[in-house]
Amino acid sequence: MSRKTFLAASLAVFCGTGVLRSDEGMWLYNDPPRERVRAKYGFELTDAWLEHLQKSSVRFNSGGSGSFVSEDGLVLSNHHVGADALQKVSSAQKNYLRDGFYARSQAEEIPCVDLELNVLQSIVDVTERVNTAVTAGLSPDDAVKARRRVMAAIEKESLDATGFRSDVVTLYQGGAYHLYRFKKYTDVRLVFAPEQQVAFFGGDPDNFEYPRFDLDICLFRAYEDGKPVKVPHYLKWSKAGAAEGELTFVSGHPGRTERLLTVAELEYLRDRGYPIRLAYLKRREVLLRSWSERSAENARRAKDELFGIQNSRKALDGGHAGLYDPALMASKRNQETALRMKFAANPAFASAAAAYDRILQAQSLISRYERRHRLLEAGQAFQSELFDIAHILVRAAEEYPKADGERLREFAEAGRASLEMGLFSDKPIHNDLEILNLADSLTYLSEQFGADDPVVKKVMTGKSPRARATELITGSRLRSVDERRRLYKGGMLAIAASDDPLILVARSVDAEAREVRQLMEAQTEIKKQAHAAIATARFALEGKGQYPDATFTLRLSYGVVKGYTAQGKAIPATTSLGGIFERSAEMEGRPPFDLPERWQKKRRALQADAPFNFVSTHDIIGGNSGSPVVNRNGEFVGIIFDGNIESLVLGFAYEETQARALSVHSAGILEALRSVYAAKPLVEELVSGKRR
């Protein structure tokens, strides 16, 4: 992308609502872009239309989005969103991630392991109550505790009153707090998945590229009381699908954007945050790729984790490159300077004018603490499923005896059921992969802190990383769900009496981890209060018709199906099913451009000109994977599965000239299910909205 394009893109950030670019925005459902859509497209976002789309949309706790597509609880998402579930129900004998799966009857649908689906029911603005609890004069530490207490109280009251999962979400970096209530489904069963070869056709080389030819879909069914759930809100299927130039909408859960950060925060990400994260991801990628190449079973066990790392690495590389663009950063500085001048000119905005310096100071201290925080508290020193379990057990024993509002946020009573579902999951845990990961992370700990660091000495006990990892993993009893339940139920007495080596290590580093977490949270609280002052002043100057940064909560985006030009070449909006065979032949069928045998046999049966993938101007980011694309009638016309390479700057600024969202076309999905997989009952359910 050229400097001129970057500059144009970045002008959308930090400015008033009147200069937001045409299709920009990840909008809140309780503050939708009604006027913008009406003005440009002549379409009315009615309350009924929004409610139907909201309650048809689904969030996967494993990360990603989806939607109900039949009244009998059928849920559609991406294959790569469902990959975690596919991996957990697979074995060396039945590799569903690689080979795909189709339940031809309800009895064949496979129960998923620890998969939770959330459907947003309502949003309540609780900003005033949260902010009132944080009184003037409180120290940062006391402010963190006060905010934690009131948020826990709001969530618990909501849970008790409604039975819904209740989360207080921070918006505008601390400028607002909203209570999100979700209906939760924990009995979720696998219905259909294609082979990964075709779901992720082109693999890493084609990731974030376009044209694409991917059947990146996965179908599940939600159950209640042992029966498929009957849902009042689901998306009717459009057999025709999206047409070029058509207005469409995306309803999903974008993970995280950083468009409202200050220049100081962006410079930190550019100079320290991103380089550290990228180096760590590349280290993990090399480790798992090398291990995977040793055997087919190794590759199966590491497949989902390796895919996630590679995907994150490529996305971060693109975002990091954006922060090195001089025009982008110059534009950010100019916008910030202009806003600060407006604040400084009005005594009523004195707190907002001073907020930038407070953020700069807090960011400087965060930089000082971040290494110990990411290693000890964020867990980079202990990459192990079993250590994660030990860590939760140790923390739970200390946190749950406390009053709800005094606990760490992840142990609030409102989230206890979800925590327990993950803790007592019987997902497969493989000793060899555990030892590999833990040995490498212990090596990383030693490299980062130095061999003479007291924490390193305490953890390593005079052994090499490999020997210590082997000792910890093979000696632990935590792979037993019964043992986890015993320790969890026994609380502090059981944890104190345990001689499990991973419990002992988790206990030994817990004090240091808590201390650095407290330091980081205090500085984060300073930043929240500063951002709140900036947001309040901006609202006063510009009104509230602005969208906040993404927070993995439900958002609405709008745009059109539209191609673009790259390197002087016109890129069409839509690809066809026949194109996958042409792309495979072009690459001589070499992996990852090889096709499943089933597809090769069914080539002549396929309607080659059926639309397959398409691009659109929707404003999306990671977490939107699996989001439904709907037309004006609220009909399903496609499913988001990626963005192109030019979209990787969307974390910092919207760009509509070349950045595009990538989707699988509804017509292509039907054609593949019908002609390749002979899944007639599934096709009929999608088209009719009912299971027959």
3-state SS, residue 181: strand
117 within 8 A of 184, measured Cβ to Cβ? yes
For 354, the token pair is 């001073």
224 within 8 A of 185, measured Cβ to Cβ? yes
pLDDT tens digit sequence for 446-472: 999 999 999 999 999 999 999 999 999
The per-type count for the chain, helices as H runs and strands as E runs, is: 25, 21
User: Can you tell me the distance from the alpha carbon of 269 to that of 320, in angstroms, rounded to the nearest whole number?
Assistant: 8
pLDDT > 60? residue 393: yes
pLDDT tens digit sequence for 27-46: 999 999 999 999 999 999 99
624 within 8 A of 213, measured Cβ to Cβ? no
Q: What is the mean pLDDT of residues 548-569?
A: 97
User: Can you tell me the distance from the alpha carbon of 32 to that of 191, in angstroms, rounded to the nearest whole number?
Assistant: 34
pLDDT band at 544 (very low <50, low <70, confident <90, very high): confident
Of 494, 492, 379, 371, nearest in space to 441 by CA = 379
Q: What are phi and psi of 476, to 5 degrees?
A: -85, 145
Q: Could you tell me where the beta strands, DSSP code E, fall in 567-689? A: 569-571, 574-576, 611-616, 628-630, 636-643, 661-665
- State how far the alpha carbon of 679 is from the alpha carbons of 103, 172, 192, 692, in Å: 9, 45, 9, 13
User: Can you tell me the distance from the alpha carbon of 666 to that of 344, in angstroms, rounded to the nearest whole number?
Assistant: 52
**Which residue's structure tokens are 């392991």?**
113
Average pLDDT of the chain is 95
For 519, the token pair is 């330091």
Q: What is the mean pLDDT of residues 560-584?
A: 97
pLDDT > 90? residue 19: no
pLDDT > 90? residue 624: yes
- State how far the alpha carbon of 135 is from the alpha carbons of 59, 129, 138, 142, 179, in Å: 35, 11, 6, 10, 21
- Paired with 630 in beta bridges are 249, 636
Query: What's the pLDDT score for residue 16?
Result: 38
Query: What's the pLDDT score for residue 632?
Result: 98
CATH dotted code for 3-116+186-254+548-688: 2.40.10.120
Which are the contacts of 212, defined by CB distance < 8 A and separation ≥ 6? 201, 202, 206, 575, 613, 642, 662
- Would you put residue 354 in left (φ > 0), alpha (ψ -120 to 50) or beta? alpha
Secondary element (H or E) of residue 171: strand 165-171
Q: What is the mean pLDDT of residues 517-544?
A: 95
- Paired with 629 in beta bridges are 250, 638
For 417, the token pair is 């059921």
pLDDT > 80? residue 4: no
Helices 481-497 and 501-542: crossing angle in degrees, nearest 10, is 100
For 345, the token pair is 């000119």
Query: What's the pLDDT score for residue 475?
Result: 98
Which are the contacts of 376, defined by CB distance < 8 A and separation ≥ 6? 455, 509, 512, 513, 516
pLDDT > 90? residue 341: yes
User: Can you tell me the distance from the alpha carbon of 385 to that of 363, in angstroms, rounded to the nearest whole number?
Assistant: 31
- Paired with 125 in beta bridges are 178
User: Can you tell me the distance from the alpha carbon of 679 to that of 683, in angstroms, rounded to the nearest whole number?
Assistant: 6
Query: What's the pLDDT score for residue 21?
Result: 57
For 187, the token pair is 């009995």
pLDDT tens digit sequence for 493-516: 999 999 999 999 999 999 999 999
| DSSP 8-class letter at 561 | B
Of 541, 64, 201, 573, nearest in space to 343 by CA = 541
pLDDT band at 692 (very low <50, low <70, confident <90, very high): confident
Alpha-carbon torsion (583, 589, 593, 596), positive or negative: positive
Do you find a cis peptide bond into 211, omega within 30 degrees of 0?
yes
User: Can you tell me the distance from the alpha carbon of 563 to that of 659, in angstroms, rounded to the nearest whole number?
Assistant: 10
User: Can you tell me the distance from the alpha carbon of 391 to that of 377, in angstroms, rounded to the nearest whole number?
Assistant: 10
- Paired with 556 in beta bridges are 27, 251
Sequence spans of domains, the chain: 3-116+186-254+548-688, 122-180
The strand pair at 661-665 and 611-616 is best described as antiparallel
Q: What are phi and psi of 549, to 5 degrees?
A: -60, 155
